[in-house]
Structure formats: structure tokens, C-alpha cells
Amino acid sequence: MTLNDLGRPREGIFWMVLSGLSFVGVNGIVRYLGTELPAAQSAFLRFLFGVIFLIPVLPSVLRGIAPGAMRLFIWRGVAHTAAVLFWFYAMARIPVAHATAIGYLNPVLMLVAGAMILREPFSPRRVAAVAVALLGALIVLRPGVQALNIGHVSQIFASLCFCGSYLFAKRLTGLAPASVIVAMMSLTVTVGLAPLAWLVWVPVSLAQMGWLAVVAVCATLGHYCMTRAFRAAPLTVTQPVTFLTLIWATLVGALLFNEAVDAFVLLGGALIIGAISWVTWRDALDAAALQAAD
């Protein structure tokens, strides 16, 4: 059995559940910290802790950068820096479930960007999936029905910037191993956030520092568990499990922050995840059919 054997669905589901719980922990802690710290400062401290955790492996990481890849790493750092700024700003101002549901738009935007920028196929099936997912987003946001604030707009911009970051990451996969890509993301984002954090710096308590360190641990654990899930099972198995994250985020918002349980958010989130899971499943069937024909 190899590391990339995809015939272990139970293991894949297990790791994906742990990944979802880790990211819900990130969302909940940032929501708890609220607006006492500026978004740039909170984001900087979170990524600074991430870099501290990576210090033992940074020398080998920097030696593993291929010629010509640094420009892509820098541009990815720019896109990801903007994304985390928008995300931290949004998480402190909108319900946890809203932020989670809007975040599900990332893979939808990747489908569109892949077709427009990377010239990937954009079949009628993918058009239908994008349409259903956008309908889900409208159900979550319900403009004109519920009051939207700048936090919702910020989360939408975060999704757009995360999409840009993932496009650069996709280009980098052919130039560097995953460990180098993740480490360079942490390093470039920390450097990018440093001057912005300095401009708005306010005194930070030991408790706030401790919580942001926990955020860094949870985020690192979430990415690790997600990688293990992708190695154990195909996306057709692991993708639907991500909907559980919205359930947990809704529970965290209701139990810890007295946020109302919004059935429309759950419905919209289900439509987004359902559309992405369906198109992933159908694409996997087509790929398997082509492989069998060869």
C-alpha cells in the first residue's frame, strides 16, 4: 500500500472529520477574540506562530526552491495575505455559520478561474454546478431580505483572494513539493502582514497571544489532516464530509455566541457542497472510464 492509495474511504472520512473540527476551532477562536485586535495584527500573530513552528525545517525548505519558482511564491503570498486580512476582518463581525457557508464558494470559484485562466474544460455539467452553488450563496446571503454588513462583503473578497492563492499553488505543484509550498506560504504571508500589523499595532495580552497560538496549531493540524484525507480517499468521498463543518460551525455559533440557527444558511451551504460534490463525482467517473478504455 502506498501513501497515495485512495482505497481507504473510512480513513479518509476520519481525517476529513478531524480537519473540519480543527478549522471550526480556528473560526470559533477568531470569533471569540472579536474586534479588540485589528485584523492585520491578529493575522500576523497567527502566521508568525506558524513560522516559529516551522523554524526547524525552514533551512531545508529554502534549499528546495526550484529556479523560477520564487516569483510565484511571492505572488501567492500577496494573494494569500489579502485573503487572510479579509477573512480575519469578516470572522470577527459575522456569524460563524455565515462565514463557513460563504467559504464553501472557494472550490466554485476555482472551477470558474480554472476555465478562464488555466484553460481547463468547462463542461455544461460544471456550468450547472456553478449555477447551483451561486444559488446556494444567494440563499445564505439573501440580499434585500436580511441585513448584510461589511463582514459579509469581506468574506466574499476573502474567497476571491483565496481562489487566487490556490491558482498560484496549483502552478507551484509542478515546481516544488507540498511541504515547501505550505512553508513558503506561511513565510511570505508573515512578511507581507508585518508592516500592515505594525501600522495598526495595539497592546496585546498574554491571553490573546495564547489563543492566537492555538489558532496556528489548529490551522496547521487542519491542513495536515486534510492532506492525510486526500491521500486516503478520493474527493468524491471526502468532499461531502466538509458539510459537517457547517453543522459544527452552526452549533459553535449557537452554543458559544448565542447566534441564531439559520435554516437558510444550512440549506444554502448544502446546495454549494452538493453541487461541488456532484461535479467532482461525475468528473471522477469520466476519468475512470477513460482510464479503463486505455
Say yes or no to pLDDT of 1 above 50.
Answer: no
pTM greater than the 0.95 cutoff: no
Say yes or no to pLDDT of 252 above 80.
Answer: yes
Give the 3-state DSSP-derived string for the chain, with helices as H, strands as E and coil as C. CCCCCCCCHHHHHHHHHHHHHHHHHHHHHHHHHCCCCCHHHHHHHHHHHHHHHHHHHHHHHHHCCCCCCHHHHHHHHHHHHHHHHHHHHHHCCCCHHHHHHHHCHHHHHHHHHHHHCCCCCCCHHHHHHHHHHHHHHHHHHCECCECCCHHHHHHHHHHHHHHHHHHHHHHHCCCCCHHHHHHHHHHHHHHHHHHHHHHCCCCCCHHHHHHHHHHHHHHHHHHHHHHHHHHHCCHHHHCHHHHHHHHHHHHHHHHHHCCCCCHHHHHHHHHHHHHHHHHHHHHHHHHHHHHHHC
pLDDT tens per residue across span 111-158: 777 777 767 666 788 788 888 888 888 888 877 566 678 988 999 999
* Per-residue model confidence (pLDDT) at position 65: 73
At 292, the pLDDT band (50, 70, 90 cuts) reads: low
Q: Compute the distance between CA of residue 224 and CA of residue 229 in angstroms, rounded to an integer.
A: 9
Say yes or no to pLDDT of 68 above 80.
Answer: no
- Averaged over 177-186, what is the pLDDT? 79
* Per-residue model confidence (pLDDT) at position 202: 94
Average pLDDT value for the chain: 83
Give the 3-state DSSP-derived string for 184-228, with helices as H, strands as E and coil as C. HHHHHHHHHHHHHHHHCCCCCCHHHHHHHHHHHHHHHHHHHHHHH
Say yes or no to pLDDT of 2 above 50.
Answer: no
Give the residue extent of every domain in the chain: 9-293
pLDDT tens per residue across span 205-248: 999 999 999 998 898 888 788 777 877 777 667 777 777 888 88
- Averaged over 262-277, what is the pLDDT? 86
